[in-house]
Structure 1
Amino acid sequence: MFSNATKNEASFPPKCCGQEISLKEAACCLHRPQIKAFEQSAREFNTPVASRRYCANSKCSSFLGRGNRDILRCNRCTDLTCNGRLRHAHPGQCSADHESKHLELLGKLAKEKGWQQCSACERFLDKSAGCNHITCPCSHQFCYVCGANWRTCGCPQFDAGDGRFRDVHPPLIDLERLIAAIRGWEPWLYQPPDR
């Protein structure tokens, strides 16, 4: 129960018969790593979604805490994240105006492709078929059809795509790399021509 609560925000805080179970009550039955994982998840899940910041390193994506500093350092991978852009830290002053043109183009592309945007972290996500219940990497859960918070709309739960019922979640396409490429923030994606 506590292990599930550390991985799934919908299961947090852990409950039995509708009553919340505190960490203090369950600590005697848990190992130290479980307690530490629960404390870290509690810190994340008790932070308002709009204030949560995550590591810009797509291989890490660890919770960094509230965005109360310009540059946030990840304790897990040590990468630096710009709090203004929520991407890898960069030299100089951060300007949201600089990226508005790119964001407008990205928005048009997302509309053309039918991508859905997470209302909590504004990340674009795509899926091929299957359950319309989406859990964003930021842990926000929403309906892929309309974008509303999960279980607050009347949209169909499944979309088989090919006419067959599927009960598994399809993999989300990693749009973060595409977004970074569009914005030009990842120079390793550029391959100069041979001379």
Structure 2
Amino acid sequence: MDAGEWDTAAARDAFRQELESINVAIRLAVVPATAAILENQALVLRLQLEELDVLESRQASQRMQHSMYRAMLADLPLLAPNDSASRGCRRQAASSDTAIPSHPAVTVNPDGSTQLEEYIDQLKIAEEPPKQCYACMEETPINQGVILENCSHFWCHECLRRCFDLAIKNEGGHPVRCCEQLPKIPMDNPAIASVLGSKMITDLKAKIVEYETPNRTYCHERSCSTFIPPDQVLERMAACPICQNKTCAECKTQYHESPDCTAVHDEAFDEWRTKNQAATCPGCHRVVVISYGCNHMLCPCGSEFCYECSVIWKECTCERWHNDRLLDRAAEVADRLADGMANAVQVQQVAEALRAEGGCRHNNWTRTDLFTFTSSTAAEVTCADCHWRAGEFLWRCDRCGMRVCSRCRVDYKDFDDHRDY
């Protein structure tokens, strides 16, 4: 027993002795008023004794809870299994998380409660069979993933962090998609937010402002090139939040007082753009240079235009393919299909197919284990879309031979109608 319980026992004895004295006095009382007062005092004592019974019952429950709590913590070193052996999945052995949640410190709250109940719930979750991650298709302990609302797909923590990190680094990765039922995974979901962390969420929110700005302005200083948010633009003058240099929001060069931007165009840049056959998006004025692919451009700002003439797509008479880029693309696809051993006839066949049908729709895929590749070049073990270096396998398009990870394959599978390359 502790000191608090000794006080309870002493109080019970004192209340009982006083109650016995009052009962004797009631029997001996002659005046009715005096007897009534004694009856009220007896009633108060009986209520206090009932409260002591409740308190002692609570203390007994707490003693049992504390005993179970300490016993479980003492047995944990014996109960903890070998993660990689017990689960039999490669991810768990490589993950920084563990299937069995780390137990809390042996502490008891001032009210006598502990974290035992919450911890037991975590253990129950850890004992559930692993689920297949919708993105990477690997078996993952359920406490190392999140079940998304709307579609109920299960994503492992590693894939969530990787895809949101990609969205920060590459505009093509935003928004982070799951499927047609959930084309945008909400980062404000508490379960997802706890996986990503506050820094990643803050960084992504800043990038979303950049991605959703239609006519963006970047610092003209090449060593800086920082995105200038719209709230930092006053009429044409855009002040860089990093280096404080001022950029013209109209022509994107160094800020100038004259409202006529044609007089201050960078002639060297115009010469470079002509030499490299660059195109300009008619929507956001972004300059684009491609080395392969057709003339159909889909800008991150949402505009579709022709690479040859920078006119809105299908409003010009240009061919879909430039011949040089068509042959380069055909050679790349033919090499993929022939494992780097394509001949001129195969290249020409692919070129004719591309010219007739447009780009590959990537409708059919075959899983290819890494050890089946004829060589071990970086391109063969890296996703062609997000450049993630695969550990075990990639998916290979049956038509063009492109290899992507499971996560990027989801985009092609669920959003095929939006693909045109």
- 2:247 corresponds to which residue? 81
Contact 1:72 1:82 survives alignment (8 Å): yes
Question: What is the letter of the counterpart of residue 117 of structure 1?
Answer: T
Deviations 1:118-176 (A, max 9, x none): 2234354445x3235778798978653454679xx98349816668724799xxxxxxx
- 1:116 corresponds to which residue? 279
1:144 correspondence with 2:310: no
Question: What is the letter of the counterpart of residue 43 of structure 1?
Answer: V
Task: Give the paired residue count.
Answer: 161
**Aligned counterpart for 1:12 among listed residues 149, 156, 174:** 174
SS in 1 for 2:208: helix
Gaps of 5+ in 1: 170-195
Deviations 1:72-114 (A, max 9, x none): 2222333221224321224xx23226528x699x879966874
Report the alpha carbon displacement of residue 53 of structure 1 after superposing the two structures with TM: 1.8
Contact 1:130 1:165 survives alignment (8 Å): no
Aligned positions of 1:45-60 closer than 5 A: 45-47=211-213, 49-50=214-215, 52-60=216-224
- 1:3 corresponds to which residue? 165
Q: Distance in 2 between matches of 1:162 and 1:17?
A: 33
Question: What is the letter of the counterpart of residue 116 of structure 1?
Answer: A
Report the alpha carbon displacement of residue 40 of structure 1 after superposing the two structures with TM: 0.8
- 2:98 corresponds to which residue? none
**Aligned counterpart for 2:259 among listed residues 64, 89, 95:** 95
Question: What is the letter of the counterpart of residue 178 of structure 2?
Answer: C
- 2:320 corresponds to which residue? 155
Call closer, same or farther: CA 1:107–1:56 in 2, change over 3 Å.
closer
SS in 2 for 1:81: strand
SS in 2 for 1:24: coil
Call closer, same or farther: CA 1:110–1:56 in 2, change over 3 Å.
closer
Question: What is the letter of the counterpart of residue 226 of structure 2?
Answer: S
SS in 1 for 2:167: helix
Report the alpha carbon displacement of residue 9 of structure 1 after superposing the two structures with TM: 2.9
Gaps of 5+ in 2: 1-162, 334-378, 385-421
Contact 2:171 2:300 survives alignment (8 Å): no
1:37 correspondence with 2:214: no
Using the aligned pairs only, state the percent identity. 26
Higher relative contact order (CA 8 A, sep 6+): 1
Deviations 1:25-83 (A, max 9, x none): 12111133311221111111222x23x22211223222212274142222233322122
State TM-score, norm by structure 2. 0.30
SS in 1 for 2:259: coil
More helix by share: 2
Question: What is the letter of the counterpart of residue 246 of structure 2?
Answer: L
User: CA RMSD of the aligned region, Å?
Assistant: 4.5
Q: Distance in 2 between matches of 1:77 and 1:137?
A: 26
1:61 correspondence with 2:225: yes
157-166 or 64-73, which moves further after superposition? 157-166
State TM-score, norm by structure 1. 0.58
Question: What is the letter of the counterpart of residue 11 of structure 1?
Answer: G
Q: Distance in 2 between matches of 1:46 and 1:107?
A: 27
More strand by share: 1
